[in-house]
């Protein structure tokens, strides 16, 4: 009898928070004039150069119509409890035609990272971590994916020393609530329980912006971020 009461009480207490889940969505834009993407000369790596009919462009600033900005990581930086465990599904970072796909890869602390070399050339994967361990591994063509994990929150530049144009980022986060703006600068953070949150938007060249948002129930809150572009 007593256990039934406990169950009913728990259900009543838990249900509202399970049922109520808000969403934060928005758009990332910039003001000012961003630096133009530069063309990459891959002539020293014919294996990759032949994959491009027009010269590939750098991805440190990727913009879209209407001054939208891509590759911005938006995440809950305060207000949500730290995740107790990392998801079992790995995230994959691919080296393809001497580029990183995706250019910015987000993951949770302790989540498995798989690094794949799809090219017919050797790469070395060198995350320039400062808080996490800095390692540097060679990955010749045809070798199995590398498996690694990071244990501290950090935005880590990644480079291939053999191909100096290859530069990407790992965003290692404490939270599972994150998104990366793609294509049109838009992002969506679903499944947010009621609460007060701080959102942080991070861009590799333009730094961070923050915004506070309160979720009270089943609702969608619009939060836009604007970065000040640098011309160099």
Partner 1 sequence: MTRTFNRAMWMSLLLSLICLILVCAIPARAQETRVGKLTGHAAAGKQNYQRWCIGCHGPYGDGNGENAQWIEPKPRDFAAAVFKCRSTPTGTLPTDEDLYNSVARGFTNSNMPHWDPLTKQTRIDLVAYIKTFSDRWKTDKPGDILKIPAEPPVTIQSIAHGSELFQKLECWKCHGQQGRGDGPSASTLTDSKDNPIRPYNFAAGTDDSRFKCGNTNQDIYKIFMTGVDGTPMPSFNDVIQPNDAWDLVHYLRTLQINRHSKENEVLRAAGGKIPKTETPATPPASQPAPQPEAKPQGGRK
Q: Which residues bind partner 1 (CB under 8 A)?
A: 44, 89-94, 96, 101-102, 104-107, 114, 116-118, 121-122, 124-126, 128, 130, 133-146, 161-164, 178-180, 182, 188
Report the first-to-last Cα separation within the chain, whole angstroms. Answer: 71
Q: Which one, 69 or 125, has the nearer CB to partner 1? A: 125
Of all helices (H) and strands (E), which one includes residue 16? helix 2-19
Structure tokens at 94: 């691919």
Minimum Å distance from CB 213 to partner 1?
A: 17
Minimum Å distance from CB 178 to partner 1?
A: 7
104 SS3 class:
strand
Minimum Å distance from CB 84 to partner 1?
A: 19
Radius of gyration of the chain (CA): 21
Of 136, 142, 87, the residue nearest 113 (C-alpha): 87
Q: Which one, 6 or 46, has the nearer CB to partner 1? A: 46
Q: Which one, 118 or 218, has the nearer CB to partner 1? A: 118
Strand 104-108 with 167-173, pairing: parallel
> Phi, psi (5° rounding) for residue 6?
-60, -45
Minimum Å distance from CB 101 to partner 1?
A: 5
Q: Which one, 29 or 148, has the nearer CB to partner 1? A: 148
Minimum Å distance from CB 158 to partner 1?
A: 12
Q: Which one, 81 or 144, has the nearer CB to partner 1? A: 144
Runs of H (alpha helix) within the chain = 2-19, 46-49
Give, as one character, the DSSP assignment of residue 202: E
């Amino acid at each position: 009898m007593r256990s039934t009461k406990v169950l009913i009480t728990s259900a009543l207490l838990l249900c509202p928070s399970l049922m109520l889940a808000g969403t934060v969505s928005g758009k990332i834009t910039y003001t000012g004039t961003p630096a133009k993407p530069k063309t990459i000369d891959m002539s020293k790596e014919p294996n990759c150069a032949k994959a491009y009919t027009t010269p590939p462009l750098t991805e440190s600033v990727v913009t879209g119509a209407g001054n939208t900005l891509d590759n911005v990581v938006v995440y809950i930086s305060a207000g949500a409890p730290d995740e107790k465990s990392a998801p079992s599904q790995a995230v994959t970072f691919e080296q393809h035609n001497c580029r990183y796909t995706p250019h910015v890869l987000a993951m949770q602390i302790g989540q498995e990272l798989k690094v794949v070399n799809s090219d017919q050339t050797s790469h070395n994967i060198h995350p320039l971590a400062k808080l996490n361990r800095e390692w540097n591994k060679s990955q010749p063509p045809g070798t199995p994916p590398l498996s690694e994990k990071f244990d501290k929150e950090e935005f880590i530049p990644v480079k291939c020393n053999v191909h100096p144009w290859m530069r990407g980022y790992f965003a290692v986060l404490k939270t599972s609530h994150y998104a990366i703006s793609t294509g049109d600068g838009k992002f969506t953070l679903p499944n947010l329980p009621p609460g007060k949150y701080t959102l942080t938007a991070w861009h590799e060249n333009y730094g961070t912006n923050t915004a506070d948002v309160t979720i009270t129930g089943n609702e969608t809150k619009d939060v836009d971020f604007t970065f000040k572009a640098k011309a160099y």
